[in-house]
Amino acid sequence: MRDMTGKPAVARGEAAFGHRLPDDMLGCDLCPRFCELKPGEKGWCQTRYSKNGRLWAANYNWLSLLQFSPIENVPLAEHANGGAVLQLGSFGCNYVSPGGERERFGAQPGLGRSIKPIDIMNICGNLVQHGCVGAAYTYAEPLLWYEFVMQCCMLLKQGDMQNILATAGFVNPRPLQELLPYLDAVRFDLFAFDPTYYRQEMRVGFDAVLKSLKILVESPVHVEVATPIIFGFNDDPQMIGTVAAYLGKTYSPEIPYHLIAPKRTLSAEQQEKIMSCADAAGRFLHRVYLS
Ligand code: SF4
């Protein structure tokens, strides 16, 4: 909910970017689904729910993933080279994972534990001696963990540490803009340059994704774009060439671009396909990485 000055409230557990509607309904403005919730209902992403006339974040202090790893694993190839980050995430996703079981990726609470933002700050601080430069919010869709991520980002910035975000960008402009001053780098997932693909496979609007990308690329935040390859869905070199052409012509051929292969052994045919996709991207972008 917002306070009287219009600022998002980030009180523990209460969701930011909610507003009241008639008949005891609550509206959520965090992402372009603009869910309208009856008392007791959850939003599409399963992370926000209406209770006692207020909107709450069910994932506020819930940690599903905690992993200390090189920054290359995010992946980021041109930021804080040689550094390491504490990767973390919770549950919650507002799009359908293409090629998966048609389930909302990471939408439901799974295994995990409760944690506070100050704990994240302390863990990062203890890991500085091992090369930790900060936290990377990477699992499921971290922008749906907004309140917790915002509080961690503020704490880490105060401690002169970095905040890195991995997002698919299906979020409204205002929440993203309010997070920007605390971000150092972003991996932005662009699965395709195709509104139909986004609508049919991921069930999200493409315009909102492009708007988020524009906000980030035009900000001082370091941005690397990534296409996670999903065989049978977006592994067509022509399709990847279209993504790269858009990035190169709209922004710059120097924008770092990753093709992320599935983390399993690939067949010779799949490896060849990835190389063809890299060739297609390389026609428009100078810095293409296979991750
Ligand atoms: S963040 Fe969740 S509850 Fe809010 S509009 Fe998006 S899907 Fe709905």
- 122, part of any domain: yes
Hey, which of 141, 144, 174, 212 would you mutate to test ligand 1's pocket, going by the most ligand atoms within 8 Å of its Cβ? 144
Query: Which residue, by CA, sits nearest to atom 2 of ligand 1?
Result: 45
| Ligand 1 binding residues, C-beta < 6 A | 28, 30-31, 33-35, 43-45, 47-48, 94, 144
- 188, part of any domain: yes
Please report, for the domain that includes residue 281, its CATH number: 3.20.20.70
43 CA distance to ligand 1 middle (Å): 5
Same domain, 22 and 77: no
d(C-alpha 235, C-alpha 99), whole Å: 11
In sequence order, which ranges of 114-166 are alpha helices (DSSP H)?
Answer: 117-127, 146-158
Q: In this structure, are residues 223 and 258 in contact, taking their beta carbons and an 8 Å threshold? A: no
Atom of ligand 1 nearest to the CA of 92: 2
Same domain, 81 and 155: yes
Same domain, 47 and 86: no
Classify the C-alpha dihedral 169-174-178-181 as positive or negative: positive
Query: Which residue, by CA, sits nearest to atom 5 of ligand 1?
Result: 34
The packing angle between helices 268-282 and 237-250, to 10°, is 30
Same domain, 217 and 113: yes
Q: Is-above-0.85 flag for pTM?
A: yes
- 10, part of any domain: no
Domain boundary among 41, 57, 73: 57
User: Which pLDDT belongs to residue 107?
Assistant: 64
Same domain, 193 and 51: no
Same domain, 104 and 52: no
Same domain, 121 and 219: yes
The pair of three-digit structure tokens given for residue 263, joined into one six-digit string? 């983390």
Which residue is it, tokens 């008392």?
39
Same domain, 191 and 265: yes
- Residuewise pLDDT in 10s, the chain (291 residues): 443 334 434 445 899 999 999 999 999 999 999 999 999 999 999 899 999 999 999 999 999 999 999 999 999 999 998 899 999 999 888 888 766 544 555 666 777 889 999 999 999 999 999 999 999 999 889 999 999 999 999 999 999 999 999 999 999 999 999 999 999 999 999 999 999 999 988 889 999 999 999 999 999 999 999 999 999 999 999 999 999 999 999 999 999 999 999 888 999 999 999 999 999 999 999 999 999
d(C-alpha 207, C-alpha 204), whole Å: 9
The candidate with the shortest Cα–Cα distance to 50, out of 17, 23, 15, 22, is 15
Q: How many domains are contained in the chain?
A: 2
Q: Which domain holds residue 232?
A: 62-290
